[in-house]
Structure 1
Amino acid sequence: MKKQAISLLFCLSATLLAAPSWATGDARKGADVFAEECGDCHSAAAGKNKKGPSLNGVFGRKAGSVTDFSGYSEAMKQSGITWAADKVDAYITQPRKVVAGGKMKYDGLGDAAARADVIAYLMSVK
């Protein structure tokens, strides 16, 4: 029994130490980063599209699937992406690399902590 408990603690510790940076983001800071970096084109309010689709409830959603947004590129619709934190992180780091031929005119957010904060924010607005 003691061996099992020690093994379990070791596994949990390893998991926490290996947690991706977005797992530790600050949603309050992310709201500010979102407003500055994303807010001109995207909303986090449900059903409020701008130049880009609303990002409310983005996690678990198939890319290019917001039914009342018509501005998707064919590349985005055909990407096969289902948005999860790791996919959002990769996309906002280098949008044109993740979806070549996409319409998003954004060079990317290089700051890993800022990306983690944005992801935490988006997770909080579902």
Structure 2
Amino acid sequence: MQHTLLRALGLALAAAALLAARPSLAQPAGDAALGSDVFSTHCAECHSVKDGRNKKGPSLFGVAGRQAAAVPGFSYSDAMKASGWSWTPQRLDAYITLPKQALPGGKMKYDGLADAKARADLLAYLATLK
């Protein structure tokens, strides 16, 4: 029994060490400079990064940490308004990966960004828009 407890404690300590070594989930691990290029290629046609300037999609200025459907002057889908989401890095990542799957009934026409590195870079860039 003592051996089992020691083994469980060892596994718990190893898991804690792995979690501590991980990059913070609050700060994306990507490259913001590369993320600017990803934004230009995949997002800029529909989204602005200027505060208060909406295009086909809402401005993404200050999106990191913001409540979903909160940009004044943008007409959001009922699904987005009802989501209750906050744009955490995890939520943004899931949404950018497959928007129609992440939010059925949403209005975004983008099919998604499968490249995890490009998404990490994009998230790092979006986090700089304050």
Instruction: Give the conservation status (yes or no) of the 8 Å contact 2:52–2:72.
Output: no
Query: Residues 14, 27 of structure 1: CA spacing in aligned structure 2 closer, same or farther, 3 A cutoff?
Result: same
Matched ranges for 1:1-126 at <5 A: 11=16, 14-17=19-22, 23-70=28-75, 72-126=76-130
Give distance in 1, aligned partners of 2:17 and 2:49. 33
Distance apart, 1:11 and its partner CA: 4.6
Amino acid at match of 1:116: A
Give distance in 2, aligned partners of 1:96 and 1:17. 29
SS in 1 for 2:28: helix
Give distance in 1, aligned partners of 2:23 and 2:128. 22
Larger Rg: 2
Instruction: Give the aligned CA root-mean-square deviation in angstroms.
Output: 2.0
SS in 2 for 1:24: coil
Structure 1: unaligned runs, 5 residues or longer: 1-9
Distance apart, 1:25 and its partner CA: 0.3
Instruction: Give the conservation status (yes or no) of the 8 Å contact 2:63–2:129.
Output: no
After superposition, the C-alpha distances for 1:71-126 in whole angstroms (9 at most, x for unaligned) are x1101111111111110000000101111000100110000000000000000111
Query: Residues 102, 113 of structure 1: CA spacing in aligned structure 2 closer, same or farther, 3 A cutoff?
Result: same
| TM-score normalised according to structure 2 size | 0.81
Moved over 4 A (4+): 10-13
Distance apart, 1:62 and its partner CA: 1.3
Give distance in 1, aligned partners of 2:105 and 2:18. 41
Give distance in 2, aligned partners of 1:117 and 1:62. 21
1:4 aligned residue: none
Q: How many pairs align?
A: 116
Give distance in 2, aligned partners of 1:29 and 1:18. 18
Distance apart, 1:65 and its partner CA: 1.4
Give distance in 1, aligned partners of 2:28 and 2:127. 10
Distance apart, 1:17 and its partner CA: 3.4
Amino acid at match of 1:49: N
